[in-house]
C-alpha cells in the first residue's frame, strides 16, 4: 500500500506570521487540503471559535497551511 507523507513546518510558518500560537491553525489548513475536506467552511468555523482580535491572524495561518507548497 502507498502512504503519502506531508511535512508541515507549522511552528516556522506561524512564527513568520508573527504568532507561534497559530501553528495549530496552520496544521488545520494543511490537513484540510491534504485530505480534501473542502466541503466545510473552515474559515467560518475558525472565525467563530477564536477571539475577535485573533480572527485575522488565524485566517492568515489557515491560508498559509492550506496554500503551502
Query: Is-contact 47 56, C-beta < 8 A?
Result: no
d(CA 57, CA 43): 12
CA 40 to chain centre: 14
pLDDT of residue 69: 81
Query: Is-contact 62 42, C-beta < 8 A?
Result: yes
pLDDT of residue 3: 82
pLDDT of residue 8: 95
Per-position pLDDT tens, the chain of length 69? 688 888 999 999 999 999 999 999 999 999 999 999 999 999 999 999 999 999 999 999 999 999 998
pLDDT of residue 29: 98
C-alpha pair distances (Å), 9 with each of 16, 28, 47, 50, 61 = 11, 12, 23, 22, 12
Amino acid at each position: 500500500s502507498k502512504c503519502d507523507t506531508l511535512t508541515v513546518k507549522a511552528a516556522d510558518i506561524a512564527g513568520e506570521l508573527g504568532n507561534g500560537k497559530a501553528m495549530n491553525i496552520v496544521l488545520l489548513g494543511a490537513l484540510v487540503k491534504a485530505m480534501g475536506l473542502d466541503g466545510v467552511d473552515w474559515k467560518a468555523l475558525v472565525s467563530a471559535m477564536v477571539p475577535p482580535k485573533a480572527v485575522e491572524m488565524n485566517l492568515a495561518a489557515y491560508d498559509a497551511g492550506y496554500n503551502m507548497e
